[in-house]
Structure 1
Amino acid sequence: MLIATDLDGTLLRADKTISARTSAVLERAAAADLPVVLVTGRPIRWLRMVYQQLATPLPAVCANGAVVYDPARDQVLRADPLAPEGLAEIARRLAEEVPEAVLAVEVMDGREMRHHIDYPMRWDTEHGGVEAVQAVAELLTQPAVKLLVRAGERDPDEFSALVGKTLAGVAEATHSSTSGLVEVSASGVTKAAGLAWYCDRLGVPAASVTAFGDMPNDVPMLAWAGRAVAVGNAHPAVKEVADEVVASNEDDGVAAYLESVLP
């Protein structure tokens, strides 16, 4: 068996901390040789604060599946970024269909972020490695593991659907926040694809994977895994594909489930 868990809204509490109960059960999993993989929309540069709370750094599928990361060696095992020509096509389509959209990109395998000067920065600057640019063209010159789209305050489901329709055939669009931020990856790149690559490397079939999540960007992973578990605070789309719904992230839903299956 392998455990794959999302971070924000699933393993982490609202204050971005890992509870003592969750830390303890992850240590039990390690002692029982049960592999645990973090599968997150976060880029590599956002993982430091998570690893600071873990006794043993866990491997991570980052940027919604675009990067597979080994923290023990600080090594990217696999990256599947958007190429510059793909970024240019995405920017062209968005300019036509959503002219008010402003963009940012995660580059250098997610170790750095570049954003248009008009892109509204929120929590992004807390993690460093951020640069503002004056022209959209400056965002399109190097491969990006994720492109971020904002257009003012939007209903997240509706805006994600609009961007997805606009980029159909050239990129994947999803969301994991309530602020109207849409996350764009290369065509075929999802949490499911990144996790499948990692599991294949270990020789673990999908049927042996239990996955936990809470937001639409987790849906492909949950649909792929042998057992899909939604936390109680999950988006309706996540609960719809889940085999089971456990307690919320604030109530240690992942930890409670793992306690029930660990020896």
Structure 2
Amino acid sequence: MTSATDPLPLSTVPRLIATDLDGTLLRDDNSVSDRTVAALAAAEEAGIEVFFVTGRPARWMDVVSDHVHGHGLAICGNGAAVVDLHDGGRLIQVRDLPRSTALDVVQALRDAVPGTSFAVELSTGIHYEPEYPPFHLDPGATVATAEKLLYEEKPEEAAPVLKLLAHHTELTPDGFLTAARVAAGGHASITRSSPTALLEVSGLGVSKASTLALCCAERGISADEVVAFGDMPNDVEMLSWAGTSYAMGNAHPDVVAAASGRTVANNEDGVAVVIEEIIERQRQHR
């Protein structure tokens, strides 16, 4: 029995489900459907851990915090932080972007892609340049140039930089991503998850995939035992790493190419569809 668009046989019994949030687990209105809530609970009951793996910061995780079972952990900031949602989003692990590296990226993009504006996501909150689209969810943000935002008067007291964000008003999203990787890809990991020309810059080698791999290694879980879901370029490495992976029906073409299978769109509960199939297969093989 199957209802996914492109189901795959699972070579091993899954021990962990890793799912992106926006455009994947969440519907377009940022809700988690009753069907998805039930599927997540069924996975945990069956002994399958569920990790939310997202570009969101911990403070924007309230949309799913009630649906984290067991361990309570989530991977935020595209792999820059592992947080405990049972403890108010407390940081468990940080893989920061060194401020000197962030400054190198800022300079490289200012030179190569004029018109780029920046925001700096710290472990304590986000701050941005005057030209950057304002964050209405973060009214307390400092507005200043990226160079000032990244300045360390007392390095030992400076909050870690989780990621740098770069925005352009004229370039296409994929065009901006390509240009930025050419200009600054040697300094840091650069990706995107927004439908606009908004890029996310992390420490070199930091991604959803690399942090998920670390979390799995701590639990003795291999890549073959992971089922992953995603829809945007910042999910590509994770979907390539996981033993079984699904691109959503609404996914970016690069995600479709990276995933080993496809499911239906986020608004059709594509993650829940696959989880239900996994649970059903386990019941049939008992």
Indicate the TM-score class for this superposition, using the shorter chain for normalisation: over 0.9
Aligned residue number for residue 100 of structure 2:
85
Secondary structure of the corresponding residue to residue 277 of structure 2:
helix
Deviations 1:125-152 (A, max 9, x none): 22x3641323322221343111100121
Aligned residue number for residue 132 of structure 1:
142
How far apart are the structure 2 equivalents of 1:90 and 1:114? 17
The answer to whether 1:105 aligns with 2:115 is no
How far apart are the structure 1 equivalents of 2:185 and 2:230? 25
Q: CA deviation at 1:92?
A: 1.3
1:246·1:253 contact (CA, 8 Å) conserved in 2? yes
Aligned residue number for residue 71 of structure 1:
85
Aligned residue number for residue 204 of structure 2:
187
How far apart are the structure 2 equivalents of 1:170 and 1:36? 32
Secondary structure of the corresponding residue to residue 133 of structure 1:
coil
The answer to whether 1:119 aligns with 2:132 is yes
1:230·1:238 contact (CA, 8 Å) conserved in 2? yes
TM-score of the two chains, using structure 1 as the length reference = 0.93
Aligned residue number for residue 256 of structure 2:
239
Unaligned stretches of 5+ residues in structure 1: none
The answer to whether 1:160 aligns with 2:177 is yes
1:61·1:67 contact (CA, 8 Å) conserved in 2? yes
Amino acid at match of 1:75: R
How far apart are the structure 2 equivalents of 1:135 and 1:23? 42
Tell me the C-alpha RMSD between the 2 structures.
1.5
Amino acid at match of 2:213: A
The answer to whether 1:44 aligns with 2:35 is no
How far apart are the structure 2 equivalents of 1:107 and 1:89? 17
Unaligned stretches of 5+ residues in structure 2: 1-14, 152-157
Larger-gyration structure (1/2): 2
1:156·1:181 contact (CA, 8 Å) conserved in 2? yes
Q: CA deviation at 1:160?
A: 0.7
Deviations 1:49-92 (A, max 9, x none): 3224x274842111111111121234322111111111111111
Aligned residue number for residue 277 of structure 2:
260
1:214·1:235 contact (CA, 8 Å) conserved in 2? yes
TM-score of the two chains, using structure 2 as the length reference = 0.86
Q: CA deviation at 1:197?
A: 0.9
- Corresponding pairs, count: 257
Amino acid at match of 1:255: A
Amino acid at match of 2:229: F
Identity over aligned pairs, percent: 40
Deviations 1:165-193 (A, max 9, x none): 11121111111111110111110011101
Larger RCO, structures 1/2 (Cα 8 Å, 6+ apart): 2
